Amino acid sequence: MYIQHLIAIVVGLLAIVALPEARADAVADAQAGYQAQGAGPFDAQAGARRWTENHTEAGTDKQISCASCHRQDLRQPGQHVRTLKPIEPMSPAVNPQRLTDVKKIEKWFLRNCKGTWGRECTAQEKGDFLVYIQSQ
Amino acid sequence: MKLRWLAAAMAAAVVGLSGTLAFSDSDREGREKGERGWLAGLAAPTGVKPVDNHLYAAECSSCHFAYQPGLLPEASWRELMANLSDHFGENAELTPETQKLLTDYLIQNAAEQDGGWLARDVLRDADKRTEPVIRITETAFFIHEHDELPQRVWRDNPKVGSMSNCSACHTKADNASFDEHQVSIPGVGRWED
C-alpha cells in the first residue's frame, strides 16, 4: 500500500469522526460566546415561548413571529411570508445541516431578530433559541 | 490542422465543464444552476446572462429568486446593496466582506455590461428616469410584458403571490430564460398572449 493511500484513508476516517463533532461545536461555540457576555443557563422552554411570540412588523401592522416563516413545528418545512420561498425544516434531527455553522447562526439571528422583533436578540434569547431548536 | 481544431474544441469543452463542476460543488442552489450553466452559453442570443457566481446564488436565493445582475443598471444595484437593512421591508444585512463581494459582482455584470436584449431594454428604461429604479417589476419592459395578467393568477395565487417570484411561472428562469413558451402558471398552466 502506498503512503498516499494510507493518508487518504486516515483523512477519510478523521472526516467521518470529526463531522458530528463539528456540529455539536457550532452550538457550543455560539453558547460560549453568549456566556462570555453573562448569559446562561439556557432554557429550551423559554426559546419555545419566544418562538411564537407575536410582534408588530415594522412598516406594516402585521403580527409576526419566528413561526410565521419557520412554522410552529420545526420538523416541517416553512415558507417565507413575503417571497413564498420554501424554507427547509429548522430541526437538526430532520435537517442535519442546521446549527452546523456559527457564522450562519449569527447571520440569521441578526437579520431575523431585527426583521421580526425590530431589534437584535440578546445573548440569553439566542442561547435559549439554540437549545430549543436543538431539542426539536 | 483538423486535429488542432479538434484539440482546441475538446480543451474548450473541458474548461467549460470544469467551470460547471467547480460551481456545482457547494450546495443545492449551486448545483441547480451549475447543471444549466454551460448549456445556457449555447443558447444565443440571450436576453440576459445567467447567474454565474456561487456566493451570489447562495446568499440571495436563501430568500428569493436570484435575479440576474443584467436585469438592473449599475446605479440601481449600488443603491439596493447600500440599503440591505431595509430590503423591501426585510432585514437582509450581510457582513461587510460579503456585501462588497456581491456588490462587485452585480456591478461587473449589471445591465451596462450584459449585452443581452433584455438588459438593453432595462437601460432604455433607466435613461428615462432621474432616480435609479430598484424594483425590476417597475421597469417599463417588465410592466409591458406582464400587464395583461389578471391578479387572480399571480397576487391571489398562493403559489405565486408576487411578480417578483420569477421562477414560480418562468420554468427556466434560473437559466435566465424568460421565454413565453416556457411559462407555466401554477394551477393555471401555459400562458401565451
Domain boundaries, chain A: 3-135
Taking residue B76's Cβ as centre, other Cβ atoms within 10 Å add up to 23
**CB-CB neighbors (< 8 A) of A60 in chain B:** 89
Strands A55-56 and A78-79: unpaired
**CB-CB neighbors (< 8 A) of B161 in chain A:** 83-84
pLDDT for A136 equals 96
Which ranges of B25-146 does DSSP label H, i.e. alpha helix?
28-42, 54-60, 74-81, 96-108, 111-114, 117-127, 140-146
- Between A12-21, A51-60, B29-38, B157-166, the lowest mean confidence (pLDDT) is in B29-38
Report the alpha-carbon distance of residue B82 to residue A112 in Å, rounded.
19
Domain A3-135 CATH (choose: 1.20.1740.10, 1.10.8.60, 1.10.3720.10, 1.10.760.10): 1.10.760.10
pLDDT for B66 equals 96
pLDDT for B17 equals 47
- What mean pLDDT is predicted for residues B163-169? 95
Report the alpha-carbon distance of residue A112 to residue A65 in Å, rounded.
10
**Mutate which of B90, B97, B136, B155 to disrupt the A interface (most A C-beta within 10 Å)?**
B90
**CB distance A10 to A2 below 8 Å:** no
> What type of residue is B138?
E
pTM of the model: 0.75
Q: How far is B183 from chain A (nearest CA, A)?
A: 18
Q: In chain A, what percentage of residues exceed pLDDT 90? A: 74
pLDDT for B20 equals 41
Residues A115, B159: C-beta atoms closer than 8 Å: no
Query: Does B78 or B33 have the greater pLDDT score?
Result: B78
pLDDT digits (tens, 9 = 90+) for B45-66: 689 999 999 999 999 998 999 9
pLDDT digits (tens, 9 = 90+) for A26-77: 999 999 999 999 999 999 999 999 999 999 987 788 999 999 999 999 999 9
**CB-CB neighbors (< 8 A) of A114 in chain B:** 85, 91, 93
Joined grid coordinates for residue A117 = 422583533
pLDDT for B52 equals 96
In this predicted structure, the answer to whether residue B30 has a pLDDT above a threshold of 50 is no
Taking residue A49's Cβ as centre, other Cβ atoms within 10 Å add up to 12
> What ipTM is given for this predicted complex?
0.73
pLDDT for B77 equals 98
Beta-bridge partners for B90: B87
